A and B are shown apart, each in its own frame.
Chain A
Amino acid sequence: DVKVTQSSRYLVKRTGEKVFLECVQDMDHENMFWYRQDPGLGLRLIYFSYDVKMKEKGDIPEGYSVSREKKERFSLILESASTNQTSMYLCASDPSGKNTGELFFGEGSRLTVL
């Protein structure tokens, strides 16, 4: 079974803190994604990566950056957390070229910024 693991299920941070959200997948998938989930808005794409050190902006990249130094790991970084970044963050992966289209999700990281 594909496993996508997000390092923290729940985090509480202060405004202005730097926040790292880590995601690891164990199926050698090329593509990895970070989504933000908010009630009434569904999932919105922050960034995705299709290879090591490669990244593309999604719909809402402002205030976020990402890092992919190894194929299995994709990190989301909030350089200076703000209260409007309080949300659920979902990491996902899929194998490029398999054409199944399905994303495999982690359990999510619920971030609260005070």
Chain B
Amino acid sequence: AQTVTQSQPEMSVQEAETVTLSCTYDTSESDYYLFWYKQPPSRQMILVIRQEAYKQQNATENRFSVNFQKAAKSFSLKISDSQLGDAAMYFCAYRNNNDMRFGAGTRLTVKP
């Protein structure tokens, strides 16, 4: 079974600074999706950013960008200009058809 590993249970960043959350995954497939989801406290999980494995270009969404290294099976999330509203649990996820796997999550704290 595919696995997704987030090695940082907790991270902290100063407001306006940049932080990088790490994620590695294991798969024998060549075509799949990777995601970062955000779960704010007591609120629903929402998609932050998505990467198709066949695309070499790294996805970006405003202040959020990824570093996708397919050969290394690495998919990190960079948050630039961190804001207080970025404080949340972040989950890395892998999907191939209906097989969707999540990492254990990284709790991000943003300090004012």
Interface residues of chain A, those whose CB is within 8 Å of chain B, are 4, 31, 33, 35, 40-45, 48, 50, 56, 59, 90, 100-103, 105-108
Contacts of B52 in A (CB 8 A): 101
What secondary structure prevails in chain B residues at the interface with A?
strand
Q: Is the CB of B95 within 8 A of A101?
A: yes
Interface residues of chain B, those whose CB is within 8 Å of chain A, are 1, 4, 6, 9, 33, 35, 37, 43-47, 50, 52, 91, 95, 98, 100, 102-105
* Distance to closest chain B CB from A33 (angstroms): 8
Q: Is the CB of A90 within 8 A of B91?
A: no
What secondary structure prevails in chain A residues at the interface with B?
strand
Given the complex of chains A and B, what is the CA–CA distance between A106 and B43 in angstroms? 9
* Distance to closest chain A CB from B91 (angstroms): 6
Of A40, A103, A106, chain B has the most CB atoms within 10 Å of the CB of A103
Contacts of B105 in A (CB 8 A): 42
Contacts of B44 in A (CB 8 A): 4, 105-108
8 other A-B residue contacts (CB within 8 Å) besides A90-B45, A101-B50, A105-B44: A35-B102, A41-B104, A43-B91, A59-B1, A101-B35, A101-B52, A102-B35, A105-B37
